[in-house]
């Protein structure tokens, strides 16, 4: 039998528990330890262990010192990623770090450069790639089903940010800003679909409604709740993001459209609908279906994406193959988010070359 991989969780908030529940359902994976300074979060991890043995630590350094794990999953607050990664990388163990890689380009660059020569697996948790409808749309585009990709459009109309312990996510200094914290997923998808790196970014956005009446030690939250972003890629493809975080009253929170020279494919979430049509056959309608993945045992928060991602993570570890979502991918998603914020702050187009 294959020896189970032992996982340790650093951070047991919403995403830490998401990883734990998915790993519980995967053969050959054991969550054996968890660390979090918040007692209620550790209690949640204990309950999610469902009777399995779980070593618990209030400090992640004690978890590392115990040396119980083959893989560390880092899902602590964004602003802690750089410091935590410094110490976890020193162990030489396999690493899965939640998005965003870091909150600044400088920190993300340092980690990316070190990860490129890291001997174990280094994987960034950009799991939106794994949502079955999104994956199907990307697969169709990559196979040439709509000709050459020309434009990409992503819309997220959703609810405000969720509550976190201490509401740390109410401030850009902690998150990296909304377009880094949340939208790194979408910038990663753009780059994956375009199969090119970004050249210029232009954006408009502000804080219109959310959290403006809240106070934390005399400070008002400063996170954006709406934005429009345009990204130009080196190969000429253009992509757009339409974000509203005060748009709960919708059927689908997220929509992806990939337009090619011969047709278009769309994916919708949470409905799971995928539509595909060709320009030459526009009058005869489009093909559409609800896309799922029969391998998924845990739907979780991302329509089974975290489960599917962990299958690939485990395969990469066992077969000693490169990460399919690398530190470079995570770095680019941070760079694009920071560029969008700078475009809003400075009221101009940002050339990516200025930042890197």
**Among residues of the chain, what percentage have pLDDT more than 90?**
96
β partners of residue 277: 264
Residue 211: pLDDT band (50, 70, 90) is very high
Q: Are strands 122-125 and 55-57 parallel, antiparallel or unpaired?
A: unpaired
34 vs 41: CA distance, rounded Å: 10
- What mean pLDDT is predicted for residues 328-343? 98
Kindly report the three-state secondary structure assignment for every residue of 135-171. Answer: HHHHHHHHCCECECEEEEEEEEECCCCCCCHHHHHHC
Same fold, 5-126+309-325 and 129-297+332-354: no
Using 50, 70 and 90 to split pLDDT, how confident is the model at 232?
very high
Strands 71-74 and 94-98: parallel
In b/e form, how buried is each residue of 101-111, taking b as 16+ CB within 10 angstroms?
A: bbbbbebbbbb
pLDDT at 284: 80
pLDDT > 90? residue 249: no
By CB atoms closer than 10 A (0-12, 13-18, 19+), residue 237 is buried
- Residue 131's Cβ-side half-sphere holds a number of Cα atoms within 13 Å equal to 24
C-alpha span between 267 and 201 (Å, rounded): 24
- How much is the average pLDDT of 200-219? 96
- Annotated domain spans of the chain: 5-126+309-325, 129-297+332-354
Q: Which has the higher per-residue pLDDT, 84 or 286? A: 84
Q: What is the CA radius of gyration of the chain?
A: 20
179, 180, 185, 190: CA torsion to nearest 10: 70
pLDDT, one tens digit per residue, over 290-320 is 999 999 999 998 999 999 999 999 999 999 9
pLDDT number for residue 250: 85
Q: Specify whether the CB–CB gap between 227 and 204 falls below 8 A.
A: yes
Q: What is the pLDDT of residues 142-172, one digit of tens each?
A: 999 999 999 999 999 999 999 999 999 999 9
- C-alpha 259/C-alpha 150 separation (Å) is 6
- Residue spans of alpha helices (H) in the chain: 14-24, 39-48, 60-66, 81-89, 105-115, 132-142, 172-175, 178-181, 184-194, 305-319, 327-346
Alpha-carbon separation of residue 302 from 136, 193, 309, 327 (angstroms):
15, 19, 11, 21
**pLDDT score, position 81:** 98
* Residues written for the chain: 356
The CB density around residue 301, as the number of other CB atoms within 10 Å, is: 15
Overall average pLDDT of the 178-206 stretch: 98
Q: Which residue has the tokens 């990709």?
A: 149
From 3.30.365.10, 1.10.3720.10, 3.40.50.10420, 3.30.360.10, which CATH number describes the 129-297+332-354 domain? 3.30.360.10
Which residues lie below 8 Å from residue 281, measured CB to CB, with a gap of 6+? none
Average pLDDT over residues 34-49: 97
Decide if 324 contacts 312 (C-beta within 8 A): yes
178 vs 143: CA distance, rounded Å: 33
Does the pLDDT of residue 184 top 90, yes or no? yes
Q: Tell me the β-bridge partners of 72.
A: 8, 95
pTM over 0.85: yes
The CATH class that applies to domain 5-126+309-325 reads: alpha beta
Taking the CB of residue 247, how many other CB atoms lie within 10 A of it?
A: 17
Task: Please report the sign of the dihedral spanned by the C-alpha atoms of residue 157, residue 159, residue 160, residue 166.
Answer: negative
* CB atoms inside a 10 Å sphere around CB 154: 25
1 pLDDT more than 70: no
Residue 260 CA to residue 276 CA, distance in Å, equals 11
Please state, in angstroms and rounded to a whole number, the distance separating the CA atoms of residues 235 and 193.
12
């Amino acid at each position: 039998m294959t020896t189970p991989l032992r996982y340790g969780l650093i951070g047991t908030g919403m995403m830490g528990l998401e990883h734990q529940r998915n790993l519980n359902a995967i053969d050959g994976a054991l969550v054996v330890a968890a660390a979090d300074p918040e007692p209620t979060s550790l209690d949640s991890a204990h309950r999610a262990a469902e009777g399995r043995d779980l070593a618990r630590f209030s400090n992640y350094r004690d978890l590392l010192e115990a040396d119980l794990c083959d893989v560390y999953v880092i899902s602590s607050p964004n602003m802690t990623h750089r410091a935590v990664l410094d110490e976890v990388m020193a162990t030489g163990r396999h690493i899965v770090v939640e998005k965003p890689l870091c909150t600044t380009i400088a920190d993300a660059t340092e980690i990316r450069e070190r990860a490129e020569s890291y001997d174990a697996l280094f994987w960034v948790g950009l799991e939106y790639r794994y949502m079955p409808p999104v994956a199907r749309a990307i697969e169709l585009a990559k196979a040439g089903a709509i000709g050459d990709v020309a434009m990409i459009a992503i819309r997220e109309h959703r609810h405000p940010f969720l509550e976190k312990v201490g509401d740390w996510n109410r401030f850009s200094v902690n998150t990296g800003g909304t377009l880094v914290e949340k939208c790194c997923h979408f910038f990663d998808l753009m780059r994956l679909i375009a199969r090119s790196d970004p050249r210029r970014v232009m954006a408009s956005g502000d804080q219109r409604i959310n959290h403006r009446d809240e106070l934390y030690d005399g400070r008002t939250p400063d996170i954006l709740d709406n934005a429009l972003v345009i990204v130009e890629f080196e190969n000429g493809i253009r992509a757009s993001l339409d974000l509203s975080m005060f748009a709960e009253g919708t059927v689908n929170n997220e929509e992806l459209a990939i337009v090619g020279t011969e047709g278009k494919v769309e994916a919708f979430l949470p409905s799971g609908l995928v539509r595909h049509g060709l320009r030459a056959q526009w009058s005869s309608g489009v093909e559409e279906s609800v896309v799922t993945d029969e391998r998924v045992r845990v739907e979780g928060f991302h329509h089974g994406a975290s489960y599917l991602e962990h299958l690939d993570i485990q395969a990469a570890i066992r077969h000693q193959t490169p990460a399919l979502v690398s530190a470079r991918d995570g770095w680019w998603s941070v760079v694009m988010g920071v560029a969008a914020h700078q475009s809003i702050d400075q009221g101009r187009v940002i050339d990516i070359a200025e930042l890197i």
